[in-house]
Amino acid sequence: MKFIKKLLLIIIIAASMFSEVKATTLGPIDVLGYPSQGPAVDTLRNAFNYFASPEAGFFRNQFFIRDNFYSRGFVFTIPIHKEKQEMHYKLWLQLEPAPLVTIVPGLGSLYNEQTLMVLANMFFKSGYSVLAISNPFNWEFMQSAASVPTPGYTIRDSQDTYYALYRIISHLKEKYGKRITDNVVIGYSLGAMYTIFISILDEKYSLINYSKYVAVNPPLNLIYGTKVLDSYFNIIDSWPRTKLKNKATKALVLFNKLIKKKINIDKKLPIDSEEAQYIIGLSFHNSLVEMLASIAQRQKGGGLFLHEFNYYNRDSLYRELNSYNYTKYIKLLVLPYYTKLFGQEVTFKDLNQWASLTNYDKYLKNNQKIRVIHNINDFLLTEEDKIWFEEVFGNRLVYFSHGGHIGNMFFPEVQKFILEASDPHNHKVFNGKEVKRIKGKALQSYLKQLTPEERKAFKTKAEKISKETI
């Protein structure tokens, strides 16, 4: 009888140990006070990711004039390819030795894009030096660091990004030496997908040796993503003619107000899901047209488009470029390029399959340096995608219940998780209850950004977690 009891005790202990080791995804976590209105409308709140500095004053913040934080950093250039112009990047360097955080932005974004600025300010105030670059779909990156004329094959775009970062960081280490103590890379949206691919490249080639790779709202399935973005832009075609003018005008007016920061951040947006989808689709479509114009400007002798780039009259060219969506771009420009490069026909399905993170399941499961922060209602994720992220990243993944696609990064609770995940000295995972407490300088910098009431609530919560952890 005693033997049986001992055996049962061993089994129970073993089971409890296994349950502690099992990688459990944290979340979905509710963001306190977040006025969710569904995936599309939540995504529009990304417009609130703009940098507002107390020291800049009302006038500068209201009209988004570059403030003291922006001017603390410097724009530098560096040659990446001999035959191309030099690449621009933005650097905020701490006076004392500090880790360097590299930020890779979303689709088509320049190195000074507003969401990037929010993250840069957050990290700089928390004691990090910050490096910002442009996205491979941005004209600046394409003219300086791209090895191909048409971005869209994620592996190649990630390789170009990694090589450009290697050149920049090598130069910074040579110039500033011990002032850079460590390296962390964080990407959001498409930049997050590049960040995960960069983790694969860096572990293989060890050119930079990042301590942490943080991916915020990474997409997974390119075919699905392009179809969703195209459908959002085309949703206007499904609106009844009697409502078309009013709905389109309403959407564009709100879009203009969002850009000019004339919407109350704490209130629900006066827009429905379809109108929000159109604004999202229009925004991504504009990024595509800008990128296509850059391709047209760089091509020699024409051939890709019916109309050539002309500095004095671009109306005909832009009418042609506006007829493109993401599916048409990949079909007419990306696939033919890689078909010629690889010497075999490349289909949309081939490109998606070859450039899929799902090919690297085993590696990604074992890389403990990766952290993924996502929203469960991100419109770019399918249910299968969510399951894949959970199975692969487990307790290195946290889900928030609301925010759509990067529509909640202005909330302190989300920023706290980003800071925690990016700490090169914090090797703990998201533990199923609460992320490990922020310590040292990072904690003090974070607390300074909170109101007295928020600071008191944070302290109470931290004390509670401390008792649970003991």
The answer as to whether 296 is a domain residue is yes
* pLDDT at site 456: 53
Q: Compute CA distances 20 → 9, 357, 433, whole Å.
A: 17, 27, 12
Question: For residue 104, what is the DSSP state?
Answer: E
The answer as to whether 417 is a domain residue is yes
Which of 326, 350, 374 is the endpoint of a domain? Answer: 350
214 plus 95 within the same structural domain: yes
Nearest residue to 100 (alpha-carbon basis) of 71, 133, 77, 70:
133
Q: Is 181 helix (H, G, I), strand (E, B) or coil?
A: strand
CATH number, domain containing residue 428:
3.40.50.1820
Which of 327, 350, 373 is the endpoint of a domain? Answer: 350
303 plus 336 within the same structural domain: yes
240 plus 198 within the same structural domain: no
**Rounded-to-integer distance, Cα 131 and Cα 91, Å:** 5
The answer as to whether 339 is a domain residue is yes
396 plus 255 within the same structural domain: no
Residue 440, both tokens: 């040292």
Q: 440 pLDDT exceeds 60?
A: no
Q: Highest-confidence range of 181-195, 276-290, 341-355, by mean pLDDT?
A: 181-195
Name 317's Cβ contacts closer than 8 Å, sequence gap at least 6.
293, 296, 305, 307, 308, 309, 310
Q: Is 374 helix (H, G, I), strand (E, B) or coil?
A: strand
Length of the chain: 470
Bridge-based pairing state of the strands 180-188 and 98-104: parallel
327-330 LR contacts (CB < 8 Å, sep 24+): 327/226, 327/227, 327/230, 329/150, 329/152, 329/288, 329/292, 330/152, 330/226
- Which class for 301: exposed (0-12), middle (13-18), buried (19 or more C-beta within 10 A)? exposed
189 plus 82 within the same structural domain: yes
* pLDDT at site 71: 80
65 plus 182 within the same structural domain: yes
Q: What is the mean pLDDT of residues 81-93?
A: 95
Q: 432 pLDDT exceeds 80?
A: no
44 plus 181 within the same structural domain: yes
48 plus 86 within the same structural domain: yes
The answer as to whether 255 is a domain residue is yes
231 plus 205 within the same structural domain: no
Q: 7 pLDDT exceeds 90?
A: no
Q: Highest-confidence range of 21-30, 120-129, 258-267, 313-322, by mean pLDDT?
A: 120-129
Say if residues 89 and 112 touch (Cβ distance below 8 Å). Answer: no
Q: 429 pLDDT exceeds 80?
A: yes
Q: 366 pLDDT exceeds 90?
A: yes
The answer as to whether 8 is a domain residue is no
Say if residues 364 and 393 touch (Cβ distance below 8 Å). Answer: yes
DSSP for 320-359, please give it.
Answer: HHTT--HHHHIIIIIHHHHHHHHTS---HHHHHHHT-GGG
Domain count, the chain: 3
Cα dihedral 335→341→345→347 (10° resolution): -30
337 plus 412 within the same structural domain: no
For 312, phi then psi, to 5°, come to: -95, -25
Residue-wise pLDDT tens digits, 92-136: 999 999 999 999 999 999 999 888 998 999 999 999 999 999 999
Under the banding of pLDDT at 50, 70 and 90, the label for residue 169 is very high
* pLDDT at site 259: 66
For 398, phi then psi, to 5°, come to: -125, 135
Q: What is the mean pLDDT of residues 445-467?
A: 45
- Residues of the chain with pLDDT > 70, as a percent, come to 79
179 plus 207 within the same structural domain: yes
320 plus 369 within the same structural domain: no
The answer as to whether 10 is a domain residue is no
The reply to whether the predicted model has a pTM over 0.85 is no
The answer as to whether 358 is a domain residue is no
Say if residues 101 and 184 touch (Cβ distance below 8 Å). Answer: yes
Is 65 or 272 the better-scoring residue by pLDDT? 272
Which of 298, 321, 350 is the endpoint of a domain? Answer: 350
Say if residues 252 and 21 touch (Cβ distance below 8 Å). Answer: no
Least confident of 58-67, 122-131, 368-377, 402-411: 58-67
Under the banding of pLDDT at 50, 70 and 90, the label for residue 47 is confident
The answer as to whether 157 is a domain residue is yes
**Rounded-to-integer distance, Cα 247 and Cα 240, Å:** 10
The range of the structural domain enclosing residue 148 comes to 24-221+364-434
* pLDDT at site 452: 56
Residue-wise pLDDT tens digits, 242-273: 878 888 888 878 777 776 666 766 678 888 89
Is 452 or 349 the better-scoring residue by pLDDT? 349
